């Protein structure tokens, strides 16, 4: 089995020794996507805007694999404040229009670039 490195301008470039995502065995795996606008390199203010940008970035990586948010089977959301959970849910549900994927949400002490959220996904291709 071989793997394909996913790369797209529709998500921010990796900031370390990792890929934006990997496709293997008919699955696409995204790296955690910070809420950085790939066009400007700027992170928006506020959890609502950050959640939307992280999810847009996940969608961009999945699309580079020939997949989509509708094909996501597992999503993990990392939050620096679990009090943001309800707001994130409101944004999250706008990205999924059929059966929602399995999901975990975890509070973490800190994320790169001091983001409030990071999202990763696994989807079929």
Sign (positive or negative) of CA dihedral 64, 69, 74, 76: positive
Query: What is the C-alpha to C-alpha distance for residues 106 and 87, in angstroms, rounded to an integer?
Result: 15
Does the predicted TM-score (pTM) go above 0.95? yes
Output the domain CATH number for residue 54: 3.30.1330.40
To the nearest 10°, the Cα dihedral for 57, 60, 61, 62?
120
Sign (positive or negative) of CA dihedral 80, 82, 88, 93: positive
| Domain, as residue range, for 41 | 3-124
Q: Looking at the 3D structure of the chain, how many domains does it have?
A: 1
Q: What is the pLDDT along the chain (125 residues), one digit of tens a residue?
A: 789 999 999 999 998 999 999 999 999 999 999 999 999 999 999 999 999 999 999 999 999 999 999 999 999 999 999 999 999 999 999 999 889 999 999 999 999 999 999 999 999 99
């Amino acid at each position: 089995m071989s793997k394909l490195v996913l790369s797209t301008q529709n998500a921010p470039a990796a900031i370390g020794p990792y890929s934006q995502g990997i496709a293997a065995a008919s699955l696409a795996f995204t790296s955690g996507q910070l809420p950085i606008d790939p066009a400007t390199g700027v992170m928006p203010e506020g959890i609502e805007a950050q959640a939307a940008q992280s999810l847009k970035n996940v969608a961009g990586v999945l699309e580079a694999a020939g997949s989509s948010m509708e094909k996501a089977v597992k999503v993990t959301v990392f939050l620096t404040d679990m009090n943001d959970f309800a707001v994130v849910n409101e944004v999250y549900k706008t990205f999924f229009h059929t059966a929602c994927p399995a999901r975990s949400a975890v509070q973490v002490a800190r994320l790169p670039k001091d983001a409030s959220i990071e999202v990763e996904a696994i989807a079929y291709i």
